[in-house]
Amino acid sequence: MNTSLSHLPVSKQNDIRRITDIIVKKIAPEKVILFGSYATGKWVEDRYSEGHITYEYISDYDILVITRQGERRKDYEVQDIVINTFRPKTPINIIANDIDFVNKDLERNRYFFSDIRKEGIMLYDAGNIPLAEPRELTPQEKKEMAQEDFDHWYHKGYALLKSAKRNFDDNEYNLADFELHQSAEAIYNAVMLVFTGYKPKTHNIEMLYHYNKNHSKELAMVFPQNTPEEKHYFEQLKRGYIDARYNKDFVVTKEELEIITARLAQLHTIAEKICKEKIAEFG
């Protein structure tokens, strides 16, 4: 596996080395691997203005932290350890799995990990256990796997969106907000699985948003979060998972739900288009 960061600007190399040092000191992992756009040299930093608003689309540092045998860490736990110590201008997206989980998926050739093994950059290796050799999937196997995942998660998301609209019409706004959150989670899962064959262990749609933003700029800009107002709408959707169900003081308004529902409809349309295009690429 490649170990060089020389294709990146010095500032990016320094960021990634600092992140790696923190993970090694605080977590003592088996391996740390850079994957995604910064590993392949296809990262994006795009800023543009429309009227008085400046929009920003920046690729994340995608980092796989492979923990030692039997040591399970939550993605957000490792990410919090890093950002509480160092918060670079570039967003950080961390996925954590133990070495046995990664190697089992490599042996089954879940292509998320096989692509990382092929294209990723090894930032740290404790040298105890090597990565397994993946079994090569045929294009047809990849296509069938992606289609099955898409059918399950996309249609689940669509059913939840329809249910949210019914609850909205019945003035059950908090329940509608919860179902909109669940619909967004299902759609992000569908995209992640079609593009990578992997579904993260989280219900946090902010993390799912970051996992998916590199697959489609158009998808990411459904909830751009470039203004306080945009951030508020996404926060109301995010709070649908816990607060809308359990916090008696939580309030989401009719007007907010109308905007969030329209965004979810956009999310569905874009996800369907990009997933079908990706599935077609498998042959």
Model pLDDT for residues 203-223, shown as the tens digit of each residue: 889 889 988 888 888 999 999
Query: Amino acid identity of 251?
Result: V
The pTM score is: 0.74
- Quote the CA–CA distance of 6 and 20 in Å, as a whole number: 16
| Mean pLDDT (whole number) for 18-33 | 97
Report the candidate in 108, 159, 154 with the shortest Cα–Cα distance to residue 132.
108
| Tokens standing for residue 80 | 């919090």
Cβ-count burial of 95 within 10 angstroms (0-12 exposed, 13-18 middle, 19+ buried)?
A: buried
| Tokens standing for residue 135 | 């079994």
| Residue 101: per-residue pLDDT | 93
| Tokens standing for residue 206 | 């902010």
- SS3 of the chain: CECCCCCCCHHHHHHHHHHHHHHHHHHCCCEEEEECHHHHCCCCEEEEEECCEEEEEECCEEEEEEECCCCCCCHHHHHHHHHCCCCCCCCEEEEEEEHHHHHHHHHCCCHHHHHHHHHCEEEEECCCCCCCCCCCCCHHHHHHHHHHHHHHHHHHHHHHHHHHHHHHHCCCHHHHHHHHHHHHHHHHHHHHHHHHCCCCCCCCHHHHHHHHHHHCHHHHCCCCCCCHHHHHHHHHHHCCCCHHHHCCCCCCCHHHHHHHHHHHHHHHHHHHHHHHHHHHHCC
Find all residues with CB under 8 Å of 135, minimum gap 6, and list them. 107, 108, 109
Residue 266 has pLDDT above 70, yes or no: yes
Residue 115 has pLDDT above 90, yes or no: no
| Mean pLDDT (whole number) for 95-101 | 95
| Residue 169: per-residue pLDDT | 97
| Residue 50: per-residue pLDDT | 65
pLDDT tens column, 66-87: 999 989 998 989 999 999 999 9
Residue 262 has pLDDT above 80, yes or no: yes
| Residue 55: per-residue pLDDT | 65
Residue with tokens 């996404």: 234
| Mean pLDDT (whole number) for 25-33 | 97
pLDDT tens column, 130-185: 999 887 778 898 899 899 999 999 999 999 999 999 999 999 999 999 999 999 99
The overall average pLDDT reported for the chain is: 92
| Tokens standing for residue 209 | 């948003």
Residue 93 has pLDDT above 80, yes or no: yes
Between 58 and 254, the more confident residue is 254
- Quote the CA–CA distance of 244 and 100 in Å, as a whole number: 37
Residue 49 has pLDDT above 70, yes or no: no
pLDDT tens column, 176-211: 999 999 999 999 999 999 998 888 878 889 889 988
| Residue 62: per-residue pLDDT | 94
Report the candidate in 179, 146, 148, 145 with the shortest Cα–Cα distance to residue 161.
179
- Quote the CA–CA distance of 276 and 134 in Å, as a whole number: 26
| Residue 256: per-residue pLDDT | 97
Res. 225 pLDDT band, cuts 50 70 90: confident
Residue 47 has pLDDT above 70, yes or no: no
Res. 30 pLDDT band, cuts 50 70 90: very high
Query: Amino acid identity of 272?
Result: E
